[in-house]
A = this chain, B = another copy of it.
Amino acid sequence: MFESDLLGAFVRHRSIGIFDSGVGGLTVFKEIASLLPGENLIYLGDTARVPYGTKSVATVRRYALEAAEFLVDQGVKLLVVACNTASAVALPQLRERFQLPVIGVIEPGARRAAESQNRRIGVIGTEGTINSNRYPEAIHALLPDAEIFTAPCPLFVPLAEEGWAEHEIARLTALEYLQPLLAAQIDTLVMGCTHYPLLRRTLQQVLGETVALVDSAEETAKSVQQLFQQQGLAKPEHGGHRTFFVTDVPTRFERVGQAFLGNSLGRVEQIQIG
């Protein structure tokens, strides 16, 4: 809460800044826009340097700090790291650098995963996210005796971007990646990459209806809503503005992004960072 109503009103009317390595974070953007329709949202996709998931911790940290800096310079009231890889390796650095709340996608996803009944939980993501071990750490903090089975799934991102999320090839790829998790009898699977919710139907088909799929995008939007309620940060009116920035020419982002958002993005502006 704020010392004065005036200061509170001033901060509340600021935008939420959301960044991702590219287009995938639009799944998080979409959930936030749907849950908090009155908020002004600024999205940054670092499309000139995408992907982050195969790059080193040091490089992803540098990119995340540069992306965040751009958004903080826009005067946002909250920073959402809508990228699992950046959330996995750069959250403490971002929280240390910037004087505003920073929400990543891993803690919200882990909270939901910890509702597992049989305490056998699968986590899939990029190489960077899986190697970081952040999901198992975050889940174990809540559910110390959980057994966690992880698998990097590098082909899911290009499959989703190719528009093949429900193609037979996606099903066979999912079968290949998820076989050990199926054998481990997980009852919950964390989709630990912002692209993966596009493959939700394929994943559910391969795993069967009894396995709960955790969408970090949905859980992150709920965390933003809770934080706003606790801290009095919510902007109550409807009809928030949406602004999109990318670091490469916007053409591809606009095309692929439409599949993520379900409708046209409107104006997308190219900027340079780093």
Contacts and interface: CB of A to CB of B under 8 A. Distances in A.
A250 to B, nearest CB: 9
Contacts of A249: 56-59
Nearest to A62: B48
A252 B169 contact: no
A249 B61 CA distance: 13
Interface residues on A, range: 20 to 34
A59 B248 contact: yes
Interface in A117-142: 127
A96 interface: no
Query: Which of A54, A159, A167, A252 gathers the greatest number of chain B CB atoms within 10 Å?
Result: A54
Given A56-B251, A154-B161, A155-B159, 9 more contacts: A48-B49, A48-B59, A54-B252, A56-B248, A56-B249, A57-B249, A154-B162, A155-B155, A155-B164
Nearest to A256: B54
Interface string A76-118: 0000000000000000000000000000000000000000000
Contacts of A154: 158, 161-162
Contacts of A55: 47-48, 248
Contacts of A54: 50, 252
A140 B252 CA distance: 28
A176 B173 CA distance: 15
A237 interface: no
Contacts of A58: 249
Given A48-B49, A49-B48, A168 B172 contact: yes
